[in-house]
Amino acid sequence: MSDLADRDRVVERLATARRVLFITGAGISADSGLPTYRGIGGLYNDQHTDDGLPIEVALSGEVMASQPEITWKHLAQIEATCRGAHPNAAHRIIAALQDRLPTTVLTQNIDGFHRKAGSHDLIEIHGDLFELYCEHCGHHENRSDYSGLKELPPPCPHCLGHLRPAVVLFGEALPRPAVKRLEEVLTEGYDLVFSIGTTSVFPYIAQPFVAAAQFGALAVEINPASTNVSRFADVTWRCGAASALEQLWAALPAR
């Protein structure tokens, strides 16, 4: 966190805000032991996978359809980094803010940590790694982890198809219910918006932060490095999410 004046400015806005929006990316889960995918400590950082493919290709709808074993291999690697990890202080503090004012979370993460921490108004714009379904017969099942999967891609228990996670792969459409809820939030407006641990490369992640000015909202960025939306921030904290939110939480008046 930068200085007390910035912290107090955010605390004051929280005291009067009618709604707060949190936009989160992989960086918010770094304190849970999960790697980010780009940026500082990035898992990929524009490197090719061991299949000789850029990660955006390996994790694409096209490759899932033609060579599902490749996409599943990398999804399983992501799941393995999540296994045994838990929500950290940043996730828990965001969930706790629900008791103070309406709080919406727009997350790119598929690790489920915001849900596990207790956030209710949650827009999982890229889906859920642990919800599996069959595109052929519609069978759905939820898993706590992938340890019970004996082969990848896992066969559907009800037809000759195979299961896939309910996540948005590169080149695929965003889930309509999530898009609809985001549209509602942008229509309702908000008084305070946080961008946490995301490089904001996708327009639908950057736009709600950029739009803060039209709502008269205070825009706060928490990220160790500069991002695509840094120039739109009113307050910038170049640190990790858990550290910043713990300091902010400690400064809030008791209730």
* Omega before 175 within 30 of 0, i.e. cis: no
d(CA 149, CA 7): 46
Which of 181, 129, 139 has the alpha carbon at shortest distance from 160?
139
Q: Which residues are catalytic?
A: 126
d(CA 153, CA 210): 39
**Does residue 4 sit in helix, strand or coil?**
helix
Two tokens at 84?
A: 């045994």
Rounded (10°) CA dihedral 70, 71, 76, 78? 120
